[in-house]
Amino acid sequence: PAIHRADYQAPAWWIDTVDLTFDLDPAKTRVLNKMRLRRNPDVAAQPLRLDGEALNLARVMVNGGGTSFKMDGNQLVLENLPEGAEPFDLEIFTTCAPAKNTQLMGLYVSQGTFFTQCEAEGFRRITYFLDRPDVMASYAVTLRADKAQYPVLLSNGNLVDSGALEDGRHFAKWVDPHKKPCYLFALVAGKLVAREQKIKSRSGNDHLLQVYVRPGDLGKTEHAMNALMHSVTWDEARFGLPLDLERFMIVATSDFNMGAMENKGLNIFNTKYVLASEATATDTDFANIESVVGHEYFHNWTGNRVTCRDWFQLSLKEGLTVFRDQEFSQDLAGSPSARAVKRIEDVRVLRTAQFPEDAGPMAHPVRPDSYIEINNFYTVTIYEKGAEVVRMQHNLVSREGFAKGMKLYFERHDGQAVTCDDFVQAIADANPLSPLAQHLPQFKRWYSQAGTPRVRATGHYDAATRSYALTLSQSCAPTPGQSEKQPFVIPVELGLIDASTGAALPLQLANEAGAVTTSRVVVLTEASQTLTFTNLDAEPVPSVLRGFSAPVVLDIEYTDAQLLTLLAHDADAFNRWEAGQRLALRTAIHAIADSEQQTGAHGRFDRNILSPEFVEAMRSVLRNPALDAAFKELVLTLPSETYIAEQLDVVDPQRIHAVREAMREQLALSLQPDWAWAWEQHQDTGGYRPDPVSSGRRALSGLALHMLCIAAQRAGDGVWPGKAYQRFKVAANMTDRFNALTALVASGSELAAPALARFHTLFKDEPLVIDKWFALQAGAPDRAGNVLPTVRQLLQHPDFSLKNPNRARSVIFSYCSANPGAFHRADAAGYVFWSDRVIELDALNPQVAARLARALDRWKKLAEPWRSGAREAIARVAARPDLSNDVREVVTRALAD
């Protein structure tokens, strides 16, 4: 039963106030829901249909008396409600069973503590309600529970009353001063402790910030609290958006389907995005915590103060909030180089996860037209591509223009539930002369058309006129349900480089007077446009799509020499990195297609794959004193197997894996002295700090150690593995320790097994570290098919639990989604394993199962025998009669033609 955006209708009823009383009990929680409702005068009179799921209904009363009602599927239908515009009281009493809630949607219990997750449609698992984001109400919430077991009772807003009850129970009453849609409701009850911080905002208001965790975890909350304080300051400074609450709470739980949730004033987080200490968390964990804390905090305005009219508009809040958290991290990173590193990391996610989604069976526009299960649409398209669409608007109207647009957006829509159109309209209206305003209807195609556009750039130099003509043409392949695409508005930032000196050239357009710059944005609106640059003494090297100015694939035929020039000299750090990736990618693609490249007796390629020029270029980057370590690490990391696979029409995952491994081995061997130098030169000095500079140093020395272990393994030399083991033992922080462990495991050293055993012993009481321990083994390189048996054993490990999403992800997703060389077995055993786990998980937690189901999205690209094996495995899942809507939607789309 698909839901269509075009069918949207305003609600026939409004709910003005909600008064909820919970008697919390894991086996049977009682929920008394007293609402004040009225008819929406703008909509034709009709029965009230309330959503409910997995509830036991005990009583329904209208204005204090009995009423007739009926059930229609999951909906509670009331037909005989008071006529007229007057508000009336509706009281509904239900019970639910939080301890049995393995879906982790609605009210559930995690390690003896109650939590809720209501977005998107979890509130209906708590009480009967109009569970849609455009119904906004004022909430008062009374929580009652056993005081010894649940000393802390939290909900949205302000604590207005609390006290003791009979039989060792107690209560707390919370009132939220802001109206909100029910997906932002939250409650928490359990044994928790909080780190607290009082702050004064710019406007002079006092606020209390709290981070709640289980008692042993208080020491790991400092970084999250700092990130929260930075978030408050940043949103006020950059966008003039203050904290609108006296109290802002974050609570961590180890059982959570996603990363975190922005419930008004009471954010609930996966522990993975809260808890950090230098001993247990890596630099990546620290960075992720900062960005997720920022993300949820920024939702307070973009999402909560202005929310979505319906779930098709999800990117209104998610794309915008991802853009804001990316900007936050960049602004905190500080230096231009650290900003570029963050940009490259974000683009890498987009290209390795979103581009495949946009080219696969689940492709959908940033604003989808239909869905079966909304939980399946919390995707990289809605989030990351949505953020790119906001970023293009930002760039088309300038940073100041965007701030003006945001101001207008809040002036117009504060307190409302609105659409993506409303957002773009506000940004354009605040900047009437901008290219965004000039091309607004066409720009909006980014919201309606799925698929990744391709831009082809071709240059022609004319010596007679000393001019260079650059032609940009765009196209976009069909996606499910959209066979024809109209041209997009594509901002292309570009520059020209002197091929002999590498210097930036002035961009002088023919027929254009005015200031001449070395970088500019060209707005491509036609299917094809040509720009003619003049005053050029020789053919320049074009640097196109600088900073990844639009989420497109750029097709451009560079010579190797041109790419080497860009890698060495481009003023744009993103395109410098990109030039290195293009060189590596084309080498990989040639080797994959080259039948002369065959593995010899040792299972290795007989001939070198990388050219001496490429190796030399990598050496210069590694040794370049002007470049930051973090940037070097990105340049020296080859494109991922997933990214390489996306460039090919027919995918042999084993061949891709073998070629990439051979390239890595060659880099490891030919740069040995340079890697050793990089390792020595980037050791930590002083205490641990997760800032961009020192984490960049750790990233580069970690890569160097990894490469040295690969080279040593090849040469049968034990020195570097010995050093890695020593580093693993004495490392003062998790980043260095885990990098050393990874180097041992990934290079196949015999020291890997004792190191893994020691690691488990050291961290057996740290669940987030044990997740890493599982993930590393499930993600290890395959040696003679050993990973699948290891993964099966890990499922039997006493620490494994399928019910805990983090743990399930650490083993199953690390194998099925992040280890292509081990997963894509010619005997299809990986796929059979996948189908068993999807089915098993679906009975517990459909949301997590549906994510796993997407691991085979791109099966149609696979060569035989993988293709048939994958199809059979998907068909095996699809044949189950009892699948959730979540998994059903994914496998049905995967099998459709």
Binding site for Zn ion (CB under 5 A): 318, 321
Query: Hunting for tokens 């009179």 — which residue is that?
Result: 45
CB of 321 to ligand ARG, least distance (A): 7
Tell me the two tokens of residue 655: 């061949």
CB of 253 to Zn ion, least distance (A): 17
d(CA 838, CA 892): 14
| Beta carbon nearer to ligand ARG, 117 or 819 | 117
Residues of this chain that bind ligand ARG (CB under 6 A): 117, 119-120, 257-258, 260-262, 295-296, 318, 375, 378
Q: What stretch of H or E contains 770?
A: helix 767-778
The amino acid present at 158, given as its one-letter code, is: N
Residue 646 interacts, among ligand ARG, Zn ion, none and using kind-specific CB cut-offs from 5 to 8 Å, with none
| Beta carbon nearer to Zn ion, 241 or 731 | 241
- Cβ proximity of 224 and 250 under 8 Å: yes
CB of 375 to ligand ARG, least distance (A): 5
Tell me the two tokens of residue 478: 């069909």
Q: What stretch of H or E contains 800?
A: none
CB of 823 to ligand ARG, least distance (A): 25
- Cβ proximity of 531 and 458 under 8 Å: no
| Beta carbon nearer to ligand ARG, 261 or 708 | 261
Whether 641 sits among the annotated catalytic residues: the reply is no
d(CA 429, CA 415): 20
Residue 886 interacts, among Zn ion, ligand ARG, none and using kind-specific CB cut-offs from 5 to 8 Å, with none
CB of 257 to ligand ARG, least distance (A): 6
CB of 251 to Zn ion, least distance (A): 17
| Beta carbon nearer to ligand ARG, 107 or 724 | 107
d(CA 856, CA 93): 44
- Cβ proximity of 317 and 308 under 8 Å: yes
Work out the burial of residue 161: count CB atoms within 10 Å of its CB; fewer than 13 is exposed, 13-18 middle, 19 or more buried. exposed
| Beta carbon nearer to ligand ARG, 105 or 707 | 105
Enter the DSSP assignment of 651.
B
Residue 378 interacts, among ligand ARG, Zn ion, none and using kind-specific CB cut-offs from 5 to 8 Å, with ligand ARG
| Beta carbon nearer to Zn ion, 300 or 575 | 300
CB of 321 to Zn ion, least distance (A): 5
d(CA 394, CA 388): 9
Q: Considering only CA atoms, which of 842, 889, 5 is closest in space to residue 362?
A: 889
Return contacts of 564-567, CB within 8 angstroms, 24+ apart.
564/613, 564/617, 565/497, 565/499, 565/502, 565/541, 566/497, 566/541, 567/617, 567/621, 567/635
| Beta carbon nearer to ligand ARG, 268 or 751 | 268
Residues sharing a CB contact under 8 Å with residue 640, sequence separation 6 or more, in sequence order: 352
- Cβ proximity of 832 and 873 under 8 Å: yes
Burial 254-275 (b: 16+ CB within 10 A, else e): bbbbbebbbbbbbbbbbbbbbb
Find the largest Cα–Cα distance for the chain.
96
Pairing of strands 65-66, 106-110: unpaired
Enter the DSSP assignment of 384.
I
- For residue 247, give Cα distances in angstroms to 138, 198, 273, 312, 650: 17, 9, 20, 31, 55
Sign, CA dihedral 133-136-137-141, equals positive
d(CA 258, CA 118): 12
Residue 675 interacts, among Zn ion, ligand ARG, none and using kind-specific CB cut-offs from 5 to 8 Å, with none
| Beta carbon nearer to Zn ion, 318 or 652 | 318
CB of 105 to Zn ion, least distance (A): 16
Work out the burial of residue 793: count CB atoms within 10 Å of its CB; fewer than 13 is exposed, 13-18 middle, 19 or more buried. exposed
**φ, ψ (nearest 5 deg) of residue 97:** -120, 80
- Cβ proximity of 645 and 659 under 8 Å: no
Residue 31 interacts, among Zn ion, ligand ARG, none and using kind-specific CB cut-offs from 5 to 8 Å, with none
Angle at CA of residue 96, ends 91 and 101, nearest 5°: 145
The strand ranges marked E within 843-890 are none
- Number of C-beta neighbours around residue 4 at 10 A: 11
CB of 475 to Zn ion, least distance (A): 32
CB of 120 to ligand ARG, least distance (A): 6
CB of 384 to ligand ARG, least distance (A): 12
d(CA 361, CA 764): 40
The amino acid present at 504, given as its one-letter code, is: A
Residue 381 interacts, among Zn ion, ligand ARG, none and using kind-specific CB cut-offs from 5 to 8 Å, with none
d(CA 339, CA 210): 29
Tell me the two tokens of residue 378: 């919390």
| Beta carbon nearer to ligand ARG, 388 or 641 | 388
| Beta carbon nearer to Zn ion, 269 or 823 | 269
| Beta carbon nearer to ligand ARG, 374 or 662 | 374
CB of 273 to ligand ARG, least distance (A): 10
**φ, ψ (nearest 5 deg) of residue 174:** -115, 140
Residues sharing a CB contact under 8 Å with residue 1, sequence separation 6 or more, in sequence order: 372
- For residue 500, give Cα distances in angstroms to 465, 468, 564, 581: 20, 16, 11, 22
CB of 259 to ligand ARG, least distance (A): 6
Residue 628 interacts, among Zn ion, ligand ARG, none and using kind-specific CB cut-offs from 5 to 8 Å, with none
- Coil, strand or helix at 107: strand
> Residue 527: is the preceding peptide bond cis (ω within 30°)?
no
**φ, ψ (nearest 5 deg) of residue 152:** -105, 125
| Beta carbon nearer to ligand ARG, 262 or 357 | 262
Catalytic one among 53, 119, 121, 296? Answer: 296
Query: Hunting for tokens 């990089």 — which residue is that?
Result: 678
| Beta carbon nearer to ligand ARG, 293 or 550 | 293
- What residues are annotated to the active site? 296
